[in-house]
Structure 1
Amino acid sequence: MTEAREVLVIGGNRYFGKRLIARLLTAGDRVTVLNRGSSAPPPGAEHLVADRDDEKALSDAIGSRTFDVVIDQVCYTPRQAMTARRVFAGRTGRYVMTSTVEVYEREDSAVPVPESAVDPRTVAVDLELPWEEPEFAEAHYGEGKRQAEAVFTGSGLPFVSVRVAHVLGGDDDFTGRLEHYAHRVRTGAPIAVPPVAHPATYIHVEEIADFLFWAAGADFTGPVNAASDGLLTLDELCAAVAAHLPGGEVRIEVTGSGELSPFAFRRRYAMDNSRAAGLGFPFDDVRQWLPKAVAETLGKDA
């Protein structure tokens, strides 16, 4: 029988984060969730309240605890990474950070990009940028994640960065991105796309929860791409929404410079998932789960 692990989850108590916590608890792990107190964790998990940006508050909340695994769902900047690096030095056997496909925002590759396209060891870190300003941090989301990965890499912590593709599915998708398409299909309003809308990689909400659970229990380190098999075009996404809304109309409007609909990408956002597959994670095919994801999010009465 596998011995229960001590697992700390920082933030991420909704959407795929809550699914991850449920998987950890089902596996018999002793789970502690740390957040600012905005939401309680599910029954069975211990709750610690602290602002992860406040190093003293974070350290005080952790106290003398040590963990087999820390899963950091809400590390967005190199400052946050540096704080966590100091607090958790010598306190965990594994540190898993949820990163993003946006780290590849400068890599407009004709083929899906491997992890080596952005090597955290070569990323320059600038802690003096105004990372604490929400507008700056949001506008530099990909850069913040790149630099956060760089801070952890080579820190002595056994570190993994999970670079997550665009997530779809679930009846609790708070992003509103699929609803954007549903509204336009229902009403015949235009869907704004660039002259060339590039396909992208995606992952289902349940699959990314499975992936993070798997990554927490593995022994590899470094960056790893998490994306379902296959590329999905915007036309396919629109068709899936329209199939769920009989009588609706898909009306495409091409714009060269205006605001675009979600997932209408001017550049490529495709990740190569072969490292994770080679390490033993079995990915689903995006086209197999897409209709289910649309039905889950939009519901029967969408």
Structure 2
Amino acid sequence: MKVLVMGGSQFNGYSLVMELVKHGHEVTVLNRGRTAVDFPRSVRRLVADRTDHDQARSVLSGESFDVVQDMSAYHPDDVELMVEVFEGRVGHYIFASSTVIYAPADILPITEDHPVDRGPHQIEYGLHKLLCEDILIDAWRRRGFPATIVPFSMVFGPRNILADREQRMILRLLRGRPVLIPGDGTTVGQVGHVDDQSRALRMMMLQPQTFGKRYNLTGGTYQSDEGYVDTFAEVLGTEADKVFIPAPVMDDLWDGTLVFEEGQASPVKIDIRSSDEARANADQTRRRFKLAQLVQRLAPNLHRWNRSVVFSVDRLRTDIGWEPDYTLAAMVDHVHRWMVAEGLDQSLDLDFTFEDQIAAHVQTMQDRGHG
């Protein structure tokens, strides 16, 4: 097939390009050309800034494709342009969305029919993904534009540009650092491997049963927070120095009543009601995302630290016969081997100050008999 990948130079997009080339597809990528990347020689590269609509129209003028895999659309304007440019000139348009669109759930797993969250706690990224989906569903229903929506969730693998996820955990263990685990470590989460996800995107191409539908895309297994840490340690051949953060402390950290100021070893108790509301909300969002880096967690703006979050991938299994190959252990091994090959196990520099502050506070509590 003749396939256009919007993006293609980093992580998800690069994995998809390699998967498509491996299976003999004629691949074109369109991006700004700013990221140095060693594509196979067969890959054709178009250069344009998709946010410059006139430039993108000019570059894509006269182009037609069997499939457009859109890995870099983050705003409604991005998708409106694609529908305008490719209506009648594409057999299938696949949009990479995100599972951050979904509202918190007490009944798991979360399926594609679960309510979405457009409320005040949703961040711009999630809201804009939803607005992009709205445009595509409307175009499919009104004019038959052949679109499929694919919310990704917690993508794991080599070349991840978010080093604060699996790469951070690997560094903690390799360097013998404390590994902080929220609460008692029983909260359940889920990750998926980038290559499994690229295979799913390839398998759904030009499958008409997928038109006008949403498909969750992540791994096929789940693990507790402690199980996540233990799996990393086992694969790396290390022992995890596990520090469990008592639930009341996590609650205070999460709610912003216990904070660590920069350069300050001891936490400060604050009355969030007396803070400027806008600033307090922004600070709280930043703190929660930092706390979600302790053990890889999804959308802390929506899901509390102790809320399990699991997604169903059964619709993909049923409609295209896809099944994820990677276990969590295989994912960890793949990323570790890549980091060693790239020298990142030695050279990657991440700031662990926030973790050290929490670990010291927990130790102080235990020394005083409050742990």
Q: How far apart, in 2, do the equivalents of 1:199 and 1:150 lie?
A: 30
Q: Deviations over 1:79-117 (max 9, x none)?
A: 21122222222221110011111111x232321111112
Q: Is 1:297 paired with 2:335?
A: yes
Q: Report what 2:93 is aligned to.
A: 95
Cα distance change on mapping 1:211 and 1:285 into 2, 3 Å: closer
Structure 2 CA distance for partners of 1:247 and 1:198, relative to 1, 3 Å: closer
Name 1:250's counterpart in structure 2: 242
1:174 maps to 2:149: no
Q: TM-score with structure 2 length normalisation?
A: 0.68
1:115 counterpart residue number: 112
Task: Give the letter aligned to residue 2 of structure 2.
Answer: E
Structure whose alpha-carbon radius of gyration is higher:
2
2:273 is aligned with 1:275: no
Alignment equivalent of 1:216, drawn from 169, 194, 205: 205
Where in structure 2 are there 5+ consecutive unaligned residues?
A: 255-286, 299-304, 346-371
Q: Distance in 1 between matches of 2:56 and 2:224?
A: 42
Count of equivalent residues: 278
- Match runs of 1:194-233 below 5 Å: 198-219=187-208, 220-221=210-211, 222-233=213-224
CA distance in 1, matches of 2:184, 2:135: 38
Greater CA drift, 18-27 or 272-281: 18-27
Alignment-derived partner of residue 228 in structure 2: 237
Runs of 4+ in 1 over 6 A off after TM superposition: none
Instruction: Select 2:77's aligned residue among 57, 76, 79.
Output: 79
Aligned to 2:216, the other structure's residue is in SS state strand
Distance 1:262 1:59 in 2: 42
Question: Structure 1 residue 264: deviation in Å?
Answer: 4.0
Secondary structure in 1 matching 2:90: coil
The amino acid across from 2:214 in the alignment is P
Task: Select which of 111, 124, 146 maps to 2:130.
Answer: 146
Name the amino acid aligned to 1:14. Q
Q: Counterpart amino acid of 1:159?
A: A
* In structure 2, distance between residues paired with 1:42 and 1:118: 41
Going from structure 1 to structure 2, the CA distance change for 1:190 and 1:236 (only over 3 Å counts) comes to: closer
Q: Which position in structure 2 is the counterpart of 1:16?
A: 12
Identity in percent: 22
The one-character-per-residue Cα deviations of 1:24-83 (angstroms, maximum 9, x if unpaired) are 223332211000111354321111111111111111001211111100001112121122
CA distance 1:71–1:44, shift in 2 (3 Å): same
| Aligned mates of 1:67, 1:264 — CA distance in 2 | 37
SS of the equivalent of 1:216 reads coil
Cα deviation, residue 193, structure 1: 2.3
From the two aligned structures, give the one with the greater helix fraction: 2
3-state secondary structure, aligned to 2:74: coil
Equivalent-residue separation in structure 1 for 2:30 and 2:115 (angstroms): 29
Contact 2:188 2:308 in 1 (8 A): yes
Q: 1:30 to 1:284 in 2, by over 3 A?
A: closer
CA contact (8 A) 1:184 1:190 kept: yes
Residues 17 and 27 of structure 2 are in contact (CA less than 8 Å); yes or no, is this contact kept in structure 1?
Answer: yes
Q: Offset of 1:173 from its aligned partner? A: 2.8
Work out whether residues 198 and 264 of structure 1, in 8 Å CA contact, stay in contact via their aligned partners in 2.
no
State the superposition RMSD in angstroms: 2.5
Aligned to 2:52: 54
C-alpha distance in structure 1 between counterparts of 2:314 and 2:239, whole Å:
40
TM normalised by structure 1 equals: 0.83
